[in-house]
Each structure stands twice: as structure tokens, then as C-alpha cells.
Amino acid sequence: MLRFRPHHFLCTLGFEGKGYSPEFIRNFSRLAEELRSTPAGEEIQIEVTTISDSICQPCPDRRGEGCQSEIKIQTLDLAHARILGLSPGERLSWGEAKRRIAERMTPGAFENACAPCSWKELGVCRQALERLRGGKK
């Protein structure tokens, strides 16, 4: 069973091969590829967690079940969980996660929720969100 911290649903949507180490990138690439395979990826179940998850495992910034930047990560998680209606322990398919992102993550919500993230300026997450939402405001 895949496990994602709340902000990692949108990170996965926008992932384009950048990350904190070669091993982190390899792991995230494999996960993202699996989820993006259609139609099988849509059915993959993901459990919401508040500790280090399937993406975090090989990260050099991971500290046990937490993160070197835990306060910032919790801020991102709280905002994404509130917008997407995610609760710890909840299980949902990747298809359902994408539906919630498309319906609830408006461009304004994205700007606020992802404001603390240093990857935001790359622009790939916003572009992926715009593609998913098909130009909706």
C-alpha cells in the first residue's frame, strides 16, 4: 500500500524528475510512472499519513518518521489536507485524488497552500494543475 503525506498528492501530479538525491529521484520516478500508467494507475490505493511516506523513504532529509524541515512540511500538509478534504488513515485511489485536486485546488488555493515550498518557482506543479483542471479558474 502506498502512503502519502497530504501535500505529496499534488507533488506527484507535478513531478518531473527533480529531487533531493539520485535515489530519491529514482524512487519518486518509479512511483509516479506507476500512478500515471492508464488505466491501472487510476485504481492504485493510497493511504493518507502524517509521517514519512512512500516518497520520503530514500530522502536524505528524512529523520526517522519525520523530516529535517518538519515544521514547513506540516504547514504544507495542513493546507493541502484542508483543501482536498484528506484525513489521516483515509484510503483513496489515485483517480479519486486527481478528481479532488481538479475540483478543489484552484489556482488561488495552490498559491497559498504551496507558498512555503522551494520547488514552487520551477512552475511544473502549477502547469500540471492547469492541465488537470483544463483551464478552469
Binding site for ligand SF4 (CB under 6 A): 7, 10-11, 14, 76, 114, 117, 119-120, 125
- How much of the chain is in helix, strand and coil states, percent to nearest 5? 55, 10, 35
Pair 102, 132: CB distance under 8 Å: yes
With b meaning 16 or more CB within 10 Å and e meaning fewer, what string describes 29-50?
Answer: eebbeebeeeeebbebebebbb
Least Å distance, CB 128 to ligand SF4, is 8
Q: Which is nearer to ligand SF4, 20 or 119 (CB)?
A: 119
Q: Which is nearer to ligand SF4, 39 or 117 (CB)?
A: 117
Q: Which is nearer to ligand SF4, 14 or 32 (CB)?
A: 14
Least Å distance, CB 64 to ligand SF4, is 21
Least Å distance, CB 123 to ligand SF4, is 9
Joined grid coordinates for residue 3: 502512503
